[in-house]
Every structure is written in C-alpha cells, then in structure tokens.
C-alpha cells in the first residue's frame, strides 16, 4: 500500500509496499511537485530541479545498499542526479516490489542541513521481476540524461539480467576488487564489453585506485635516457596484503597493464603456499620476464592493497632497479592554501635509484674533468682579460690584468708583482707561463743548433 508524501518541514519522503512501477512513477511526479513548492515562499514561483545524470546502483545485500546510498549522497553534493538503488532479491519466490522516494538533506559546513539536489528512489525487488532490471527502471529514467549502472558486487556476467540492464545504460561501473571469482569474472567482463552496444562505456573503480602506482612507474621510464630500460626489464616483484585469492587482483591488474603496454605474452604461471605466485612472460626477441607476487603483512593497509613494487633489469650496459613502497605511517603536514610553498624533500637522500645516481655521477665526473683541463683559461674566458705575463721578481711590461678580487696580485711601488699578494690561481698561471717560456727558449736553441 502506498503512502502520501510527508508534508512535514523535514526531508520529504514517500513509501509504498507491494506497489507497481506505475504507482512509483506517479508518486515520483507528485513528489517533485510537492518538493518544489515546499522549498519556496508562497509568493514565489516553484524552482525547477536540475539533474545531470541518472545513477542506478544494484545491491545484493543490506550493507551494499547502505554503501550505495552514502556514496550517492556524496556525489549529489556536486552532481545533481536521480539515484535509483535496486535491492536485487531474485531468489525469493514471492514476487513483490517495495519502494521509497526521498530527498535527504546534505550536511553543510556551517552545521545546518541543506536541501539535496537529487531524488533517491529505493526499490526492493523480489521474485522474477528482479531478472528484468532494464524494463523495471526504464519508466523512471530522465530523458536525455546519461544513465550509469553501478554494480556493487560481482555482476552476473553472461546472464539475461545483465544484458537487459545494459540496454538502457550508457556506462557500466564495477569494482574488480570485489569480484568473487576473479579469473572467471574478468573473462566474463571482457566478453560482456565485446558484445554490448557500441555506445556503452566501462569504468573500474579499482583501476582508478592504481593511478598512483601506474604514474610513478611511468615517471621512472619517462626520461629519454631511460626509455631503453623498458626493453631490458628482467624481473618484477609485487608485495601485497592478505593471502586470499581475491587479494591478488590489484597485483594482477598492474602486471596486466605493463604486459599489455609492452607487448608481453603470458607463458606459464603457478601458485604456492602463503599467497606466493610466480609467472613468466615472453617479451620481444624471446626475452623472458619473471614476475612474482607475495603476501607481506604491513600495518595500515587493508587486504588486497599493494605495498611494494620492484622492477629490475639491464639495458645498454647499465643495470637498474626501481623500488616503490607505500608508507602510510609517514606523517603528513598540511600546506597553506595560498602563498609560496617552501621546498622540502619528500624522501631522504641516499635512495635506491641506482640508475639515476649512476647518470648523475657520470655527469659530475665529466664536469670535473672538463674543469680541470680548462682551469688555466677559466678566469680569462669569464672576464675577457688577457693572461698575466708577470712572474715573481720580474718587472711588469704589460698592463695589470689579474683578477679584480681583493686577493689578486697587485703591482707594488717598485713596479714589481709581489708573489706574496697573489692568489693560488695566479701562482698556478705564473708556473704555466714559466713552463711556456722555457719551451720557447728550448725550441730557439734547437733552431740555432740546426743552423
């Protein structure tokens, strides 16, 4: 039996037990009219309600239903929408539909609750009607708005229920971390996407959780000097939390991303006790890449989360090792919203980026060698002054040309260049000048001897 809309000043609600979809649609239309009139003064016109999408959340348990309502309320803060939460109970023989419509209040920062910008329709479907999800929710959809179906658990891949639901959907949202049978579910997901209509989009919430790992790995190989390392990867190790078969899904998805991007082909895989898994991929030119997963207990991480990724290889005569670890115990300091930020290293120096340290050491050694070879003309190249021709105890015959610093050599009253007042660099130049003059004299003697 359906109940009328609650006229109280609080959030508007409508509930009905054993109703039809036609009754739910009529109640939804009446609900929108009553809600528009309740939000404005008597002398003002009703405000139109906005919506940008329709979200259909399919839940199998009460916990999933509460999670869907909580997430939908958070989404509605920035995206006005129509949310339809379907509690699927197809195993119940008695056919029945219990429905409710509400517009929950959204908590504001100041403490007062604000009227929400979305309608929440909850359907508890029992019996055979649950197998026709598309026909069930189609009359409630908003015309012209994108429709997204979020399956909170494991979707029934290959079933008529899922195919019927995807006919009215523009996108399918899943969470691969919650798949009950990971291997069969991924195979079913690939088959579903291949046979669905061309406009259907697909999103995996767990794929979005792996963005920091994928971006960090890609940043290591982003420099041009490290591009060749991609063809020299020999082994990959991943540590994860938990020992269940489903806890290896994040590691498998991450390895699948790398294998797909680099063109690797899986050759063999085997599992062992304690959550250990080893696999071998074939890369270009029959090169073998070893992959290993292992379960490691790390505080602060939930089961299934990745804690460490290690990539080892060699290319072009250079060995490299990349290790990425997640440290939730690291303290976080809030930064100001405005103004310049102070530079602070995120990690302590002396890390294990062997490839980067090796390149930096080579460049530093090269710069030191060049500076040593050009030390005689370094000052004169920078200042443009000619080289000094005076030596200790010799009368200056050229203008004063030493460094302009206070420690440079200065001419004395007697016209001599005082050796005690010269800088160490100037004394080095003087020794070079004496050596050059000696070479000129030696060559002159050789010419006189030949003549």
Number of structural domains, the chain?
A: 3
Question: Encoding tokens for residue 239?
Answer: 């540590």
Q: Under a CB-based contact definition with an 8 Å cutoff, are residues 311 and 321 in contact?
A: yes
Q: Could you tell me which residue, 402 or 75, shows the higher pLDDT?
A: 75
Average pLDDT value for residue range 367-392: 60
Enter the pTM of the model. Answer: 0.64
Whether residues 190 and 217 share a domain: the answer is: no
| CA–CA distance, 258 with 161 (Å, rounded to integer) | 34
Instruction: Tell me how many helices (H) and strands (E) the chain has.
Output: 11, 16
> What pLDDT, on a 0 to 100 scale, did the predictor assign at position 300?
77
Whether residues 187 and 46 share a domain: the answer is: yes
Examine the pLDDT at 39 and tell me if it is beyond 90: no
Whether residues 30 and 179 share a domain: the answer is: yes
Examine the pLDDT at 209 and tell me if it is beyond 70: yes
Whether residues 181 and 279 share a domain: the answer is: no
Whether residues 85 and 167 share a domain: the answer is: yes
Q: Could you tell me which residue, 202 or 343, shows the higher pLDDT?
A: 202
> What pLDDT, on a 0 to 100 scale, did the predictor assign at position 234?
92
Does residue 357 fall inside a structural domain? no
Whether residues 407 and 270 share a domain: the answer is: no
Confidence band of 217 (pLDDT split at 50, 70, 90): very high
Average pLDDT value for residue range 404-412: 39
What lies within 8 Å, CB to CB, of 301 at 6+ separation is 241, 307, 326, 328
Q: Under a CB-based contact definition with an 8 Å cutoff, are residues 153 and 175 in contact?
A: no
Does residue 333 fall inside a structural domain? no
Does residue 155 fall inside a structural domain? yes
Does residue 347 fall inside a structural domain? no
Average pLDDT value for residue range 353-359: 56
Does residue 114 fall inside a structural domain? yes
Whether residues 219 and 200 share a domain: the answer is: no
Q: Among the three residues 204, 235, 252, which one is the final residue of a domain in this structure?
A: 204
Considering only CA atoms, which of 312, 182, 295, 300 is closest in space to residue 238?
295
> What's the CATH code of the domain at 108?
3.40.50
Q: Under a CB-based contact definition with an 8 Å cutoff, are residues 319 and 264 in contact?
A: no
Examine the pLDDT at 10 and tell me if it is beyond 70: no
Whether residues 384 and 252 share a domain: the answer is: no
> What's the CATH code of the domain at 298?
3.30.360
Examine the pLDDT at 427 and tell me if it is beyond 90: no
Does residue 346 fall inside a structural domain? no
Across the chain, what does the average pLDDT equal?
Answer: 75
> What pLDDT, on a 0 to 100 scale, did the predictor assign at position 144?
85
Whether residues 31 and 111 share a domain: the answer is: yes
Q: Under a CB-based contact definition with an 8 Å cutoff, are residues 148 and 170 in contact?
A: yes
Does residue 1 fall inside a structural domain? no
Does residue 395 fall inside a structural domain? yes
Whether residues 235 and 298 share a domain: the answer is: yes
| CA–CA distance, 409 with 398 (Å, rounded to integer) | 14
Whether residues 195 and 223 share a domain: the answer is: no
**Mean pLDDT lowest among 103-107, 170-174, 292-296, 321-325:** 103-107
Share of the chain above pLDDT 90, in %: 19
> What pLDDT, on a 0 to 100 scale, did the predictor assign at position 73?
85
Q: Which range of residues forms the domain containing residue 419?
A: 378-450
Q: Under a CB-based contact definition with an 8 Å cutoff, are residues 76 and 106 in contact?
A: yes
Q: Among the three residues 162, 181, 204, which one is the final residue of a domain in this structure?
A: 204
> What pLDDT, on a 0 to 100 scale, did the predictor assign at position 132?
84
Q: Among the three residues 204, 219, 234, which one is the final residue of a domain in this structure?
A: 204
Phi then psi for residue 230, to 5 deg, are -60, -30
Whether residues 216 and 297 share a domain: the answer is: yes
> What pLDDT, on a 0 to 100 scale, did the predictor assign at position 357?
59
């Amino acid at each position: 039996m359906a109940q009328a809309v609650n006229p109280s000043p609080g959030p508007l609600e409508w509930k009905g037990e054993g109703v039809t979809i036609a009754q739910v649609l009529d109640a939804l239309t009446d609900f929108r009219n009553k809600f528009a009139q309740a939000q404005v003064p008597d002398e003002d016109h009703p405000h139109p309600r906005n919506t940008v999408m329709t979200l259909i959340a399919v839940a199998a348990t009460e916990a999933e239903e509460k999670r869907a309502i909580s997430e939908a309320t958070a989404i509605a803060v920035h995206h006005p929408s129509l949310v339809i939460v379907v509690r699927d109970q197809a195993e119940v023989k008695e056919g029945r539909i219990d429905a409710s419509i509400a517009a929950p209040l959204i908590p504001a920062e100041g403490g007062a609750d604000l009227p929400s910008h979305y309608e929440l329709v909850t359907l508890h479907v029992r019996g055979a009607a649950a197998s026709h999800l598309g026909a069930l929710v189609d009359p409630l959809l908003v015309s012209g708005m994108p429709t997204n179906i979020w399956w909170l658990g494991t979707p029934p891949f290959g079933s008529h229920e899922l195919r019927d639901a995807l006919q009215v959907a523009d996108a399918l949202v899943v969470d691969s971390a919650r798949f009950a049978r990971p291997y069969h579910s991924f195979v079913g997901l690939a088959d579903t996407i291949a046979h669905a209509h061309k406009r259907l989009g697909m999103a995996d919430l767990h794929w979005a959780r792996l963005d920091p790992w994928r971006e960090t790995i890609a940043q290591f190989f982003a420099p041009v000097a490290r591009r060749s390392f991609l063809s020299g990867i020999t082994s990959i190790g991943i540590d994860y939390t938990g020992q269940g078969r489903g806890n290896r899904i994040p590691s498998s998805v991450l390895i699948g991303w790398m294998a797909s991007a680099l063109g690797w082909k899986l050759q063999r895989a085997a599992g062992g006790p304690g959550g250990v898994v080893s696999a071998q991929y074939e890369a270009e030119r029959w090169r073998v890449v070893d992959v290993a997963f292992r379960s490691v207990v790390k505080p602060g991480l939930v089961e299934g989360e990745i804690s460490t990724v290690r990539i080892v290889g060699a290319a072009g005569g250079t060995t490299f090792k990349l290790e990425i670890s997640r440290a939730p115990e690291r303290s976080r300091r809030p930064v100001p919203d405005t103004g310049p930020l102070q530079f602070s290293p995120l990690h302590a120096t002396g890390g294990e980026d062997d490839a980067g340290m090796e390149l930096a050491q080579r460049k530093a050694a090269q710069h030191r060698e060049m500076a040593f070879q050009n030390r005689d003309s370094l000052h004169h190249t920078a200042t443009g002054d000619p080289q000094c021709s005076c030596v200790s105890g010799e009368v200056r015959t050229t203008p004063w040309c030493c460094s302009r610093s206070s420690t440079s050599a200065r001419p004395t009253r007697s016209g001599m260049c005082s050796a005690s007042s010269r800088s160490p660099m100037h004394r080095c130049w003087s020794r070079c000048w004496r050596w050059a003059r000696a070479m000129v004299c030696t060559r002159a003697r050789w010419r006189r001897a030949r003549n």
